[in-house]
Amino acid sequence: MLTEMAIFIFLALVVVASAMAMLLSRNAVYAALFLAMNFVTVALLYLILGAPFIALVQVTVYAGSIMVLFLFVIMMLGAERLPGGEPLRGQRVLAILLGCVLLVEMGLIFALRSGLLQIQMPAVVFSEPVDLGELLFTRYQLLFLVTSVILLAATVGAILLTRGDKVSLRDLLQRKE
Amino acid sequence: MNLSDYYAITPLVFLVCWAIFLLLVDLWIPAGRKGITALLSAAGLLIALVLVLRSGEQVLTAFEGSVVVDGFSVFLSVLFLVSALAGIALAHDYLQRLGLERGEYYPLLLISTSGMMLMTYAYDLIEVFLALELLSIPLYILAGFSRLNLESEEASLKYFLLGAFSSGFVLYGVGLVFAATGYTDFPGIAKAAQNGSLNPTLFLIGAGLVLTGFGFKSALVPFHMWSPDVYQGAPSPVTAFMSVGAKAAGFAALLRVFVVVFPGMSVNLTPLLWALAALTMFVGNIVALVQSNIKRLLAYSSIAHSGYLLMAFVPYGNASVRSDAIAGMLFYLAAYCLTTFGAWAVVIALEKAEGKGLELEDYAGLGHRYPFLAATMTIFLLSFTGVPLTLGFWGKFYLFSTAVEGGFWQLALIGLLTSLISAYYYLRVVVIMYMRPGTPQVQRNFWPLLTSGVGALAVVILGIAPGVLLNLAVSALLKGL
């Protein structure tokens, strides 16, 4: 119980700190990476709540695909170029160290999977994909549909507000003259 | 889960399907003939109106109790549908004139209306949140509809950022209420509150956050900062629709949540509501005194009206006054809707491209050259002020009298005083229209003129016989809630 609490408090601090760092950092790429960190940490919070499926969805959808899109757009617009060299000193050493940690973790997972370590995996209690799907299509059916309409409206809006049509281009040129 | 659940919300389902259908059909309608889309969407709204009115006397529950269709939601749904109709009537010619004609305006308006309707049906906090998003996101887009106009872009971005921020407040509040009680549906939370099996601190903070979030939506002081800029920058028909629809939906959600879920919290929340109402009335009316742009003036006046509406919430913990207060609020909302659309129709008739024709000086001489428009505008401004024998007077009368009955006579006094202050800036417009010489230029178009004419007629007739509307509001409350 106490370790759980400690882990939770640590993760909560990381979540808040990374969110703050995202807001405060001046470089758009750093901000995006802090956001990714935030998403991954929130996924860990889901994990300790016993919801591995949601945690994985959070990682793949938010920290994965959405963040990649963000980074693409930022780099395409060239917003990452800020003056100054390598601001974080010693980050190469740190990178090697953290890479080693990652390798060790991968080894551990492999060991766990192959049953070498004899550790009991926690039994999943809820939020299996099947249960979740059942809830979405029964109790929360209406909300599911409403969400889809919200996304539709947002898509229409994104196209509407960014699409360059002939009329508006002409107006722009007129305004410049 | 079966079809009868969807039967209960037929108007909503129809409206959403119609909006998607229109999005498709609009692709085949050539530019410059978007009047067809406007007519089709108006037809859809009329059908939805018939479907709403047909729902009859019984209270319907659906989706395992997360949707409740009662008299309250029927009354407000009618209000929203009429608002959307007025929003279309005001928009078509305006968009054409300003070179903004895009068919997507109408489906987005319908989707926003469906979000407002869902807000009145919602009996679950998650649903309230989703309805809030469903009504807000199309409004963010519509506020930026005049894309090349920097003010409109600013309005859209500002509304979006602050709207997303306020949605965050609502969501965090919902999360804390869930954490305190273990339920998100209204009956579950109410039961937990009665049993006392909840965490009172978390519950109170959650309620406060929900109130803050909806305070943003309904532009209560001190959460009103966005509204003058957004109301000024957004295209006028959108502003008209937003200032009625979004505000009414925000109040509807607050009402449901407070009356059903938080009645036991009134000891803590009533002083807060009291202060918010008083502050909103004062700030809205006093800042409106110095405005010289008609859109900003109407924006501050709409903030002030939020204060009057909030007055109806203050005695919500007192069961004997509560239903009277809510009926008074519904009456006031209907009066506000009619008056606002009428006034905006006049503004739209005078507005010219690039934000010209919006200063108060541009109204000089209107009384002599266009007596019909000036007369309707005078009626609306008098009704806003609350001069006796207009609809606005009865609205304020019912609200103030229920506040006095509930033992909040100081608040009624503040309302009376601020109404006196408001007379100055409303009547100033009348004075400019009739006393100053000038040559205003008016776009003579049928639909805005019809809107202002119908609005003026309704304000006068219902002002003479307010009992009709009040009876409707009271009988709406007898069905459920």
Is residue A139 over pLDDT 70? yes
Using pLDDT thresholds of 50, 70 and 90, give the confidence band for residue B56: low
State which residue of chain B sits closest to A162, comparing Cα positions.
B147
Residue B356 phi, psi dihedral angles, 5° rounding: -95, 160
Is residue A171 over pLDDT 60? no
Chain A positions in Cβ-Cβ contact with residue B23 (cut-off 8 Å): 156
Is residue A16 over pLDDT 90? yes
3-state secondary structure B91-158: HHHHHHHCCCCCCCHHHHHHHHHHHHHHHHHECEHHHHHHHHHHHHHHHHHHHCCCCCCHHHHHHHHH
Is residue A177 over pLDDT 50? no
* Cα–Cα nearest to B231, from B169, B139, B164: B139
Determine whether the interchain pair A161/B104 forms a contact, defined as Cβ–Cβ distance below 8 Å.
Answer: no
Q: Does B235 touch chain A (CB under 8 A)?
A: no
The per-residue pLDDT for A120 is 58
Please compute the mean of the pLDDT values over residues B199-221 and round it to a whole number. Answer: 89
Omega before B200 cis (within 30°)? no
Residue B68: enclosing H or E segment and its boundaries?
Answer: strand B67-69
Both tokens of residue B107? 């489906």
Please compute the mean of the pLDDT values over residues B396-413 and round it to a whole number. Answer: 90
Q: Which of B64, B99, B111 sits opposite A153 (nearest CB)?
A: B111
More confident residue, B421 or B443: B421
Using pLDDT thresholds of 50, 70 and 90, give the confidence band for residue B421: very high
What is the distance in angstroms between the Cα of B120 and the nearest Cα belonging to chain A? 14
The per-residue pLDDT for A175 is 54
The answer to whether residues B123 and B135 touch, using CB atoms and an 8 Å cutoff, is no
What is the distance in angstroms between the Cα of A88 and the nearest Cα belonging to chain B? 32
Is residue B333 over pLDDT 70? yes
Q: Does B103 touch chain A (CB under 8 A)?
A: no
Q: Which of A142, A152, A161 to mutate to test the interface with B (most CBs of B within 10 A)?
A: A142
Q: Mean pLDDT check: name the lowest of A37-41, B277-281, B340-344, B406-410.
A: B406-410
The answer to whether residues B18 and B37 touch, using CB atoms and an 8 Å cutoff, is no
Using pLDDT thresholds of 50, 70 and 90, give the confidence band for residue B261: confident
Using pLDDT thresholds of 50, 70 and 90, give the confidence band for residue A87: low
Both tokens of residue B449? 């003129």
Q: What residue ranges do the domains of chain A occupy?
A: 1-83, 90-118, 127-177
Determine whether the interchain pair B156/A161 forms a contact, defined as Cβ–Cβ distance below 8 Å.
Answer: yes
The per-residue pLDDT for B339 is 93
More confident residue, B117 or A108: B117
Chain B positions in Cβ-Cβ contact with residue A146 (cut-off 8 Å): 118, 127, 130-131, 134
State which residue of chain A sits closest to B137, comparing Cα positions.
A154
Q: Mean pLDDT check: name the lowest of A110-119, B410-419, B422-431.
A: A110-119
The per-residue pLDDT for B197 is 77
Q: Does A172 touch chain B (CB under 8 A)?
A: yes
Q: What is the pLDDT of residues B445-461, one digit of tens each?
A: 888 889 899 999 999 89
Q: Mean pLDDT check: name the lowest of A94-103, A115-124, B255-264.
A: A115-124
Beta pairing, strands B60-62 & B67-69: antiparallel
Using pLDDT thresholds of 50, 70 and 90, give the confidence band for residue B322: confident
Q: Report the amino acid identity of residue B437.
A: P
What is the distance in angstroms between the Cα of B157 and the nearest Cα belonging to chain A? 11
The answer to whether residues B122 and B197 touch, using CB atoms and an 8 Å cutoff, is no
Question: What ipTM score was computed for the predicted complex, to two decimals?
Answer: 0.90
Q: Which of A138, A150, A156 sits opposite B133 (nearest CB)?
A: A150
For A1-83, CATH number? 1.20.120.1200
Residue B353 phi, psi dihedral angles, 5° rounding: -60, 160
Mean pLDDT computed over every residue of chain A: 82
